[in-house]
Amino acid sequence: MSKTALSERLLALLSTRKRASEVVGDLLEQGLTGVAFWVAILRVALRLSLRWTSAFVAAVACSVCVIALYCLYVVPKWKLPHHESWVVWSVCFAGVSLCLATATGLTASWYGIHDRLTRFTALIWLTVTASACLAWLPHAPFFVASALVAEAILLSRQAAARRLLLCALAPAAAFATSAGLFYLFSRLTAIPSTGRAGIADLAFAALACFSSLLLEFSIMRSLRFDHL
């Protein structure tokens, strides 16, 4: 494989094929060869990958916020007398909140905090997070479920809102599915099989997280159109 084809493939992984072809074409036109060519390619690749890295960091940071909030605020309430009825709801909401957190982090980093999709995803995320945290209140799950159903019905009446809803929920659902499959795989095959929280477990968790985020990210980018 020639150096231009190789560099084009490398850049296409971090951007689009058109962008990769443009960058390589521009560098060739400027007469860059040998080390200078590769240095320029690596600098462009680094800049492009910084955006990806920051998007993944933002997604993980949002997830950590959910886990920390849940552990600090909700877990101590598991001792309350009406334990059985609300804990299941609360855990379900927390799981959904975790998936929406990654979607919010990715959209905020990729499209900016002023973007409509970011604000919309963040709004749903905050609603579900609040639901997870307040599920311990008596009858709270019924009120929350009613409010969410009413919200979904209202939103589905407008085409633009339907599209936003799809763009917010589909990537989060993809993340949930992928993470769930990784979890099932690890349960069924006992891979990694260290038995303790060792390097293999951490590596597997990182692989599951990264792959799921990558899938979520690609679905988010393919669904969102420019004039949303």
Binds another protein by CB under 8 A, chosen from 6, 13, 36, 46 = 46
8-37 residues in contact with another protein (CB under 8 A) are: 15, 18-19, 21-30
Give least dist CB 111 to another protein, A: 7
How many CB atoms within 10 Å of residue 173? 17
Binds another protein by CB under 8 A, chosen from 10, 12, 38, 40 = 40
106 makes contact with another protein (CB under 8 A): no
198-227 residues in contact with another protein (CB under 8 A) are: 226-227
Please give the backbone phi and psi of residue 224, each rounded to the nearest 5 degrees, phi first. -75, 125
Q: Which residues contact 92 (CB under 8 A, 6 or more apart)?
A: none
Binds another protein by CB under 8 A, chosen from 13, 36, 51, 183 = 51
Whether the link from the prior residue into 192 is cis, omega within 30° of 0, is yes
Site size with another protein, rule: CB under 8 A: 26
Q: Which residues contact 72 (CB under 8 A, 6 or more apart)?
A: none
How many CB atoms within 10 Å of residue 15? 19
Binds another protein by CB under 8 A, chosen from 36, 71, 112, 184 = 112
Place of tokens 């334990």: 83
6 makes contact with another protein (CB under 8 A): no
Query: Is there a contact between 126 and 150 (Cβ–Cβ < 8 Å)?
Result: no
- Our CB check for another protein shows the closer of 23 and 100 to be 23
Joined tokens for residue 47: 């800049």
Query: Is there a contact between 180 and 193 (Cβ–Cβ < 8 Å)?
Result: no
54 makes contact with another protein (CB under 8 A): no
Binding residues for another protein (CB under 8 A): 4, 15, 18-19, 21-30, 40, 43-44, 46-48, 51, 111-112, 114, 226-227
